[in-house]
Structure 1
Amino acid sequence: MTVIDTPTESAAAVARVDSALEAFLQRRIDGESDPAAHQVLLVLREFILNGGKRIRPLFCYWGWRGAGGGTGNADVITVASALELFHTAALIHDDIIDDSDLRRGRPTVHLSLGKWHSEQGWHGESRTFGHSSALLAGNACLVWSEEMFHDSALVSSAESAARAFARLRSSAVYGEFLDLVGEARGGRLPDAMKIVRHKTAGYTIRYPLRIGGALAGADEELLRAYDTFGLLLGEAYQLRDDLIGMFGTPESTGKDPLDDARRGKPTALITVARRQADATRLRLLDRLYGSECLGLDDLAELRDVVRATGAPAVVEEMIDERHAGAVRALRQAGIRPLALAELETLAAACVHRER
C-alpha cells in the first residue's frame, strides 16, 4: 500500500485501519457461498488492501486526536475505515464514468471483472459486464461504509458526526455531477474551484477532519477551524493533483496520462491556461484538450502549450496561498500540540507530493 510518509502514530493508525478493513472484508468472503459473488469480493479485497494513501482515515484520526481523543480507541478506527470504504466506492464509480483502465497502477475494478467474464466464456459483452458488476460492487462499498460507520459505538452519541458523514457523501456525489457538467460545457475558474470544493476538499479533508473532531466532542470553534483548514488544504490538494495529472507519468500516478486530457476534465490548471493564452495557444488548447484522439505526441505538445502560458506557476502560487492559509487557521485553533504537528506534516505531504 502507498502511504504518505508520516511519523509513528500515523503509521500505526494506518495499520489499524488496514487491519479493520481486512477483517471486515474477510468476514464477507468467508460468509459467501456463491462462487461468482465470492470472486467479486476477492477483487474488491485486492483493490482496497493493495493501494491508497489512507488520507481520509488519517484526517479523521487526527481530527479526533486534536479534539482530545485518545490513542487506543478502536471505535474511531472503525469510523476512519468506513471513510476508506466510501472512498473505494467513489473510485470505482469514477473509473466507470471515465471508462479508465488503470487505477493505482493496476487494472480498474470494472476492467478486472470484465476480464474475468471473458475468461469464463459467458454470454454477452465482457466490458459491459465489467461496468455493470463494478457499479454494483461500488454500491456494496457504499452500503458497507454506512454499516461500518454505525458499527462504531461513538456514533450513537455524536449526532454532529453523523450529519458530517451525510454531508461528506452528498458533497462527493454533487462534485462528481459538477465534474460531468464541466466536461460537457467547459467552464471558468470559479466553476472549476466549485468542483474542487465539493469533489475533493469536502470529502477528502474537511468532513473526515470534522467527523473525527465531532466524535471527540469538539466545540463549534474548533470544528469551524477544521472546516477552514480542510477546505483550503483540500483545494491545494486538488490543484496539486491537476498538475500531477497533466505532467505526471503512469509510474508516478498509477493512471493513464491521456485519460483526463481526452475527456477534457475542467481543471483549474486548464482554465488558467486558457485565460492566459494568446490566440495561437488558445487554438492549440481547444484543439488538443478534450480530443478523444489525443496521443502521446499530442500530449507532449499540450504540456508544452500549458507551460508556455505560465499556468503552472499560477497554480503553484494558488497552492502555496491555500496551504499557508490552512496552516494559519489550524495554528489559531488551539488544538493539541502533537495533533497540530501531525496535521501540519500531513498538509505538507498533501501539497508537495508527486503522486
Structure 2
Amino acid sequence: MEHQNPGVIVTDNETDNRRRRTRTANQLYANQQIQQAAVQRAKKSKSYFRDQGFKRSCLFFTSSLRDPRSLSFRAAYIRLLECDDAHQMCAYVGSLFHMFVPDLKENVIEALSNCGIEVTEVDSDAVLRISGLELEDIPSITRSEFGIIWAYCILCLFKNPSVINYKNYMSSRIAELLGLVHTPSAEQVKIPLRLEHAKNLRQMLGSQEKFCKEVLVFIINNVNKSSFLRSTIQYLDRILAWSNMSSFTIIFESLIMTKSPVIYERFLRAEALKFADTVEAICASDYPQYFRYFAAWTDHMHLLDRNRFPMSIAVAEKIKYDTSSTSVNKKREPRSGGKFVQSSQTCNEVQRSCYKTNFFLRD
C-alpha cells in the first residue's frame, strides 16, 4: 500500500526506514550525552588522569639520607627556586618532603598522582646528569636552613595565600623560625616561592587531605622527641593548630570564650545547638586542634560547614573585626524564668560542652 502526499510518494518500507534511522540517531545522541556526562564525572575523580593517560611526567629526586648534605635535597631545592611549571614545582616540593621524612615517600607519590603527576625517580647518582647542574652550582645547606625550608613547604600546604597576607605572613614565620634555630642572619633563608607558585602548591598538594593528615601525624609523633629539629616541629604544631577551622574558631573566640550574652538570643538558638554538636565531636577527637583533617573521611566532616551557623559567624565577625561593635557584648543576660529560659539553657549546654575538656584555642 502507498501513502500519497502532494508531490511525494512514500512507501511503507521507506517510512519504516526513516523511523529506524530516527530512532538510531536519537539513540546515538543519547549515548553521546551519557558518555559526555561520564567524562565530566570522571574529571572530578582522582582516577581521571590515570585512566585517560593525561599525567604529566615530572622529576622526583630521591635520597636515603635525611641530611642537608644530601646532594638530591640541595639539587631539588635549587631547581624549585628556578621552576616555573606548577606540576614540576609540586614534584620538587614532594621530593623535599620525601627526603626529610623517607617514610612519607609512598604518600607523597600518591598525592602527586592525584594531582596528575607521574614521577620519574632520580637517585643521588644521577642527580647531576639529569638536573643539568654542576657540583659547584649546588651550595651547601645547614641543618637549620634544612628545617626552615621544610617548615616553609608545610606552611604552604595549610596556609591560603593572598596578595595581602602572603609576603608578611611568610616573612614573619621564617624570621621566627630563624630565631628558634639560633641562626644569626635572616638573609640566609628567603621566601622560596612567589605568590602564584605558593597558590599552586596549596591548591594541588594542599588539597590532598590524606597527605596533609600524614604530615600532621609526623608532627604529632615527633613534637616531643629529642632532635635537632625539635623546636621547628613544636613551632609548626603551634602554628598549624586549628588550621582551616575558621567557622569554629571565630564563634568560639568571640562568643563562647567571652561568654557573650548574644548567644542567649532566640534567633541563634538553633545554631547554638548545632555548635554544641560540633564542640562535642571536636572534644571527643584525639587531636581537637587537627579535627579538620582527622575527620575528613568520617561522618563528622559536615560539622565544620559554615552554612550550619551563618548568623553566629556574622555576629562573631562583627564583634571581632568591627571596633564600633563593642556594645554588642554589653547586652543584659536574660533572667531565669523569662521567655529566654530555653535559650539560656542552650547557652549553658554549649559552655559545658566547651569546658568539659581542657582544650582551648592557642594564640
TM-score, normalised by the number of residues in structure 1: 0.28
Higher relative contact order (CA 8 A, sep 6+): 1
Name the one with the larger strand percent.
2
TM-score, normalised by the number of residues in structure 2: 0.28
